[in-house]
Each structure stands twice: as structure tokens, then as C-alpha cells.
Chain A
Amino acid sequence: MIEVKDLKFKYPCQKEWVFDGFNLQMEENRIYGLLGKNGTGKSTLLYLISGLLRPAAGSVLSDGIETFSRNVEVLQEVYLVPEEFDFPSISLEKYVKLHAPFYPRFSRETLESCLKDFELTPDIHLGALSMGQKKKVLMSFALASNTRLLLMDEPTNGLDIPSKSQFRKAVANNMSEDRMIVISTHQVHDVESLLDHIIMLSQRELLLNASIQDIMDRYIFEYRQPSEMGDNVLYAEPSLQGNAVIAKRSEGEKETQVNLELLFNAVTKGLVK
């Protein structure tokens, strides 16, 4: 479980606080979507949870241990897939031999099944891969490490459309009850169907922290003709099918699928909480 308490953080060369009295709790057996405009601190939050950044005040705890201490037991259960990374120019076999021993629950089987999902073979050389392929390899390794916490920063960036589908399949296949996956992205559509719980950030603030079920309980998302808007509308946007609307859901009304992009716009405008 991740606990962020009264977090205060800013980058050394900047004047603005990225987080100022920020609080958040995250639990396992969930796939979190971390959404927010660029520059609102999504990556920063991921790095703080990984222990790569030190809070100026407050604490970021993983099962009660400060993440910045980079305690081995904590590190063994965290895997971060950054947006940008480098692979050494060696064969995948060798890379696995060198890196897998650090993760006590690493599973060779999972690695091979993920590679298969991504249409890659285990005998590849890391130096000969395209950026998209490298990402898929790292993702496979991350899933195979079987860490309880898996953090992904813009995982679908740089992937072509079929690859995004492979990505979803791979994640769906390797999620388990004791795992927590956090996907930070601004490509909401790519991962919508995987998410359990939404966290939306803006400058220094937690705009929204709710489960998909919770949102489905409270709001209706549908298209309405401009002439029949009704009086329970909280937010509306024009679209090809009429107005895309978020309305308050009353008891017993049929549930609708959450429109994350619409919700995001509404939340950032402060019209929906």
C-alpha cells in the first residue's frame, strides 16, 4: 500500500512547488490511471513513489517504509517503466541473466508469454530493436518481474495501434490480486478499459481520486440533443452526436460507461468532483 502524507516537493532549479500538502492513498489489486495535463506532476509523483526523488516535507511510504531510503525489500517489489530508457547493446538473454536475479519472483514463463503477446522472440539482440520494440521488451520484463508495484510512465507512447492492443492484453493477463499497477498517461483511450481507479492531478492538487465504479454510481455519461438537455446536467461539450453530457445519476437509474476524456475536462474546469 502506498501512502503519501502532507507531501511537499519542488525541483531544485524551480520556484514553484509541485506538491504542497498533498495526500493520497493507493491500494493493491487495482489498476490506477494517473491522469493530468502535461507538467502537473504525474511523472514526479511516480518518481517519488519509486524513491527516485526526496520529499522536501511530508512522507511517501510503501507499506510503511520511506521510499527514498531505497530499502532493498521495497525495491524488490517495485518496477518502474520510465518513458525514456536505455538498453545496453547486448542480447536479451544476457540482459535477463544479468537483471533477473535482482527480482526474487522473476518468472521466465511470464517473460516468454509476454514476448509472444508482443510478437517478439527471446533470441533478439537489444541493440537491433526499434524504440517501440524496446518498450515492449522492457514491459515484458517488468511484468515478468512479478513485483507487487508496477509503475508505468506513458507506456503507450511510441507504440503503434496493434501494439497498444497487445499491451492491453499483456497487462490484463498479468494482473493479480496482490499487485498494484499505476499507469500515468495522457493517452486516456489507450488504457481506459484497463483502469479500476482514476487519479487526476492538476497544479499541486488532487482533483479526483475515485474508482470507476464510484464514478459510474454518481454520474451518467451520455449524448443528448441540445433541445432536451434536462436539468441534472453538470457539464456538457458539443460533439458529433449532439452534446456529450455528464449528469448527476439518481438512484436506480441505469449505469453508463464513464467517458474519461469528458470527465477530465469537467474536472479540470472544477465542474465535477
Chain B
Amino acid sequence: MKRLGYLLKLDFHENLKAFIWTSVTMLLVYLFFFWWAHIIGIPLEYYSLSKELYSPEHIEMVTNAQCGSVGRFGSVAMYFCFIVIASQLYGKEQKKQNRTALLMLPATNLEKFLARWLYMIGFSVVAGILTFIVADVLHMIWLSSAGRPIIAASKYFFDTWSEDKVLRGVSVNSFFILIHSVYLFGGIYLRKHHFAITSLFLVIFGSLFVKIINSLEPHLFLGHRSYVLCILHICGIILFTWLSYKVFCRWQLTDRKNANL
């Protein structure tokens, strides 16, 4: 257990620069969204009412809509940030010297894998989610100084990921976690162009898979669509995470061009 702590500390200090850069970039991205929504953009559906947009009766509705769109764009950006982080999680270790250093560190493969995974979670949460909250607070300060109703966009940000029915919520979210674990696997298995190749793989095999599933409907689902998809997604998450760990354990110091086995 102590070793896990040492590994986390090590990861944190060695990647401090990347951590700060990513967080700042995401903060700026979110602030850009807010700026676009409130100052530049006018929600499409209200375009015809543009003259009346900022009248006292409509201002609250308009601000709400703007916050809503920022929330949604923001959560897409956050997800994008998550999968890029997963893809680049072992980016440093594609270089021989860094790979040697990590593999020679006295800790079990599981501890190293877990530590890096936990670090990724922490990194992603701070860089993707906390920065949004910070941007939101800044935006609310601005709203109050501009005399507009103070509405938090974070509500819409987190709402993007929730569904009415619990089962559907699990199914949808597990789908996104599955995609994330495929990017994680790509980051560990591939030697270069992790993000591009993984995306290509997902597009090709993903659409093939969806086609197969759809053609097997209704035989397969028997009406329990969400339930079956849930199981499939969770199996997929377990599969890809386990594969990632296995590949990590078999890492060598070779200069193979494309794959890390």
C-alpha cells in the first residue's frame, strides 16, 4: 500500500508541468465557451426574437439557455479531454529511457498500473471537472457584475450524463466508460499515434459491431435492450482494462515500430 502512495507521488511530481498545462488549457476552453455563449452567440431557436432577447422578461430564459449550451459543450470537451488523457497516459514511456525507469522501479506491475490509473482519474477530474467549476464561478461573478441573473452552468454540465431511468443511465454511462477504456488500451498497446489509431479502430469496429447488434435485434434483446447493452458494456470495460494490464505486464525494452508487445 505504501508503495502505491510513493508511485502516486512520483507520477504527480514528474508530470506536474503537463498537469498544469492541461488544466489551464481546459480552463481557457471553458471560459471561451462561456464568452461565446453569453457575448457572441445567440441561441438559434431564439434568433428571431433577437431584439427582445435581452428584455427583462426574457433575460432569465435566455441566460438559462446559454448556460445550458455551455454545459453541454463543456461536458463534450471534458469527455474529449478524458479520452486524450487515457490515450496519452503512457506517452512518456514510449521513450526508452523513461520506460526503463518505470519498469525498473521496485513495485509490482499491479501497483504501477493501478497508481497510474488512479493518477489518471485524479488528473482528469481536476483538469476536466474542477476547472469547469472554476470557470463557472468566474462566469457567475461576471454575470453578477453585468447585472444578469446568476445561473450556474454546472447543473447542465452534470445533467448531460444523467438519464431519467437508472438502467438507461448506467447503460449510457458505461458505454462512455467503455470507449474510454478502449483508448486506455490503445495508449498502452500502440507505439505511436495512439489517439488517431484508436479512434479509427473505434469507428470501424464500433460501427460494425453496432450493425451486427441492430440486425440481431429483436432476437437478442427480447425487449430488454438497456439491460443487455449494460452487460455488454460492462464486459467490454472489464475486457479492455484487463487487456491493458496484461499488455503492460508484458512490456519490454524493444524498439518495435507499432506495438508494445
A contact residues vs B (CB 8 Å cutoff):
11-13, 47, 50-54, 70-72, 75-76, 78-80, 82, 84-86, 88, 90, 94, 98-99, 101-103
Residues in A with CB closer than 8 Å to B6 are 98, 101-102
Q: Name 14 interchain pairs, CB-CB below 8 A, sorted by A.
A: A13-B256, A51-B103, A52-B100, A53-B253, A70-B249, A76-B106, A82-B100, A85-B97, A86-B98, A86-B101, A88-B13, A90-B13, A98-B14, A102-B6
B13 near A52: Cβ-Cβ < 8 Å: no
A102 near B106: Cβ-Cβ < 8 Å: yes
CA distance A88 to B10 in the complex (A): 11
Residues in A with CB closer than 8 Å to B9 are 98
- The range of chain B's interface size is 20 to 34
Given A11-B254, A13-B257, A94-B13, A82–B103 Cβ distance below 8 Å? no
B interface: dominant SS? helix
A47 near B104: Cβ-Cβ < 8 Å: no
Of A54, A72, A75, the residue contacting B252 (CB under 8 A) is A54
Contact bitstring B103-129, A, C-beta under 8 A = 1, else 0? 111111100000000000000000000
B3 within 8 A of A: yes
CA distance A82 to B108 in the complex (A): 21
CA distance A101 to B4 in the complex (A): 11
Interface residue ranges of B183-226 to A (CB < 8 Å): none
Given A12-B256, A53-B253, A85–B104 Cβ distance below 8 Å? no
- Among A53, A54, A79, A90, the most chain B Cβ lie within 10 Å of the Cβ of A54
B250 within 8 A of A: yes
B255 within 8 A of A: yes
A54 near B255: Cβ-Cβ < 8 Å: no
B108 near A72: Cβ-Cβ < 8 Å: yes
